[in-house]
Amino acid sequence: MTGSIHVDGNRRVLLVNPPIADTVEVEQQDMVTAVEPFGLLRLATHFRDAGCAVDYLDCLRDPALEGRLRRHVRKVLPCGNLDEEGISKEIHHFGLDAMLLGARLRSLPAPDVIGIGSIFTWHGDPVRETVEVCRSVFPRARIVVGGNVATLCPDEAARFGADEVFRGDVDGAVFAPTAADLIADRYTDFLRMIKGCPNRCSYCVTHCLNDDRVVARPPGEVFDELVAKKAANGTRNFILYDDYVLYRQGTYLDPLLDRIAEARLDIALEFALGFAANKVTGKLADRLRAAGVERVILALETLREEESRAMHRPHHVEGFVRAVELLKARGFKGRNLRAFYLIGLPNQTTDEILRAILFLYSLGVTPSLTTYTLTPRSGDMARYGHLAKGRALDELGPCLWRFAHPGMRVRELDAIYRYFHEKFFPLSRIMASSTADPVICAMQEILRNGRHQPEKW
């Protein structure tokens, strides 16, 4: 759905990227500031174009943090498999705390409207606190909460105390360029060509966020934006967070890649949400290489055929292996060839996860381990919603491993994520390791018996 945030020209807008509350793993894996809040950065351009003065406060990157993101423990929450393992984890506050946030707000001009965005459904507490601090400093401002949380969980977002819960996208901002002057790293910027996805993967909420629609803009516009940003800012790294970049590939992606290759722009291009393996061809791999794509990510998610069908995944293992071989033949390998793989799924086992990681290593692919969480309005609510009944949204945070069980323990999941997420190891190194670590020992047993290969599944 789309709508408008009514702001008359010549008024002042403050956009706030709030703090987050999560387990220590997000810091250990450098995930807290891995992605700029490009939705807010597009809104900044949108409101500027409407004649508004725009201020921007990023609670996760503000200089007042002095490099210390983790501030204090907000609460302690139980992990899955609690009865057997008895493990709970501290939920840390990352970003400006209430005192620092208040001080930073008081240093800014009084706004007419404050827009607060939030992406993940388990980060609601810091958003609520941000609303409270903004209200105390600027009591006359109209406060609007938007983003994924507002769209997926409007009733929950209504309890944050804002004046308005904005669901969906702001008209005119979907394809607005990011406000490059607000990005700390001027050498990296974000582009968008396609929003929405025609697939209905059970664990995903993209179709909910986009009202089952896919919208796109001409590749020529994307190319012109890229060229203009490179000329103005010296930007070299461009990241596209398109939901399904292969949508009508011949109309959108192929022409964009061809224009970039022909222009010889000396840039690095990345498609952060990956490619459906069944759509990868030799011609696409050639285009990616020619256009300056240095790293390719494939969406694998699961190796189990029955799980893949239940997820409504658009491809299976045979297509994945074929895509890997095509990409490796064009020089993509190791850390520059990755695969999304879900861990922590209900009914998954540690043995299954380890076999999958070894299978990826055997192909020369780096695993990008996606920590599973049950998201409101996803198709998986029909399958697994009963397992989370009565749980608050923050109790479904991914590294709490809500669906751990005796065959997939929290300690094992923590170790697997810490050891192997976005890391590549030759199988020979794993086999040669002299250790009593149960995870590594289990991997060595799998390798000795060849159980990482598809014919042994």
pLDDT over 90 percentage in the chain: 89
Per-residue model confidence (pLDDT) at position 31: 81
Whether 29 has a pLDDT exceeding 90, the answer reads no
340 in Cβ contact with 370 (< 8 Å): yes
Buried-exposed string 174-191: b where 16+ CB fall within 10 A, e elsewhere: bbbbbbbebbeeeebbbb
Give burial (CB, 10 Å; 0-12/13-18/19+) of 14: buried
Q: Which two tokens stand for residue 23?
A: 């387990």
In angstroms, the Cα distances linking 393 to 19, 41, 274, 374 are 17, 26, 27, 9
pLDDT over 70 percentage in the chain: 97
Report the alpha-carbon distance of residue 277 to residue 300 in Å, rounded. Answer: 8
Stretch (H or E) spanning 180: none
Per-residue model confidence (pLDDT) at position 32: 83
pLDDT band at 422 (very low <50, low <70, confident <90, very high): very high
Per-residue model confidence (pLDDT) at position 30: 80
Higher pLDDT, residue 345 or 9:
345
Whether 174 has a pLDDT exceeding 60, the answer reads yes
Angle (nearest 5°) at CA 72 between 68 and 78: 125
Per-residue model confidence (pLDDT) at position 237: 95
Per-residue model confidence (pLDDT) at position 178: 96
Domain ranges for the chain, please list them.
8-172, 185-299+307-331, 333-457
Angle (nearest 5°) at CA 204 between 212 and 5: 55
Report which of 51, 116, 101, 49 is spatially closest to residue 71, judged by C-alpha positions: 101
Question: Residue with structure tokens 């983790």?
Answer: 70
DSSP of 72-103: EEEEEEEPTTHHHH--EEEEEEES--HHHHHH
Report the alpha-carbon distance of residue 164 to residue 222 in Å, rounded. Answer: 32
Per-residue model confidence (pLDDT) at position 226: 97
Higher pLDDT, residue 33 or 16:
16
Q: Which CATH superfamily is domain 185-299+307-331 in?
A: Aldolase class I (3.20.20.70)
pLDDT in tens, 208-235: 999 999 999 999 999 999 999 999 999 9
For the domain made up of 8-172, give the CATH fold.
Rossmann fold (3.40.50)
Angle (nearest 5°) at CA 238 between 29 and 22: 25
Q: Which two tokens stand for residue 327?
A: 């990409």
Per-residue model confidence (pLDDT) at position 341: 97
Whether 1 has a pLDDT exceeding 70, the answer reads no
pLDDT band at 7 (very low <50, low <70, confident <90, very high): low
Whether 176 has a pLDDT exceeding 70, the answer reads yes
Which amino acid belongs to residue 347?
Answer: N
Per-residue model confidence (pLDDT) at position 97: 97
Strands 237-240 and 215-216: unpaired
Report the alpha-carbon distance of residue 346 to residue 309 in Å, rounded. Answer: 15
Per-residue model confidence (pLDDT) at position 455: 74
Which pTM does this prediction carry? Answer: 0.94
Average pLDDT, rounded, for the chain: 94
Kindly state the average pLDDT of the residues 166-195.
Answer: 92
The region of weakest confidence among 1-5, 111-115, 338-342, 452-456 is 1-5
pLDDT band at 186 (very low <50, low <70, confident <90, very high): confident
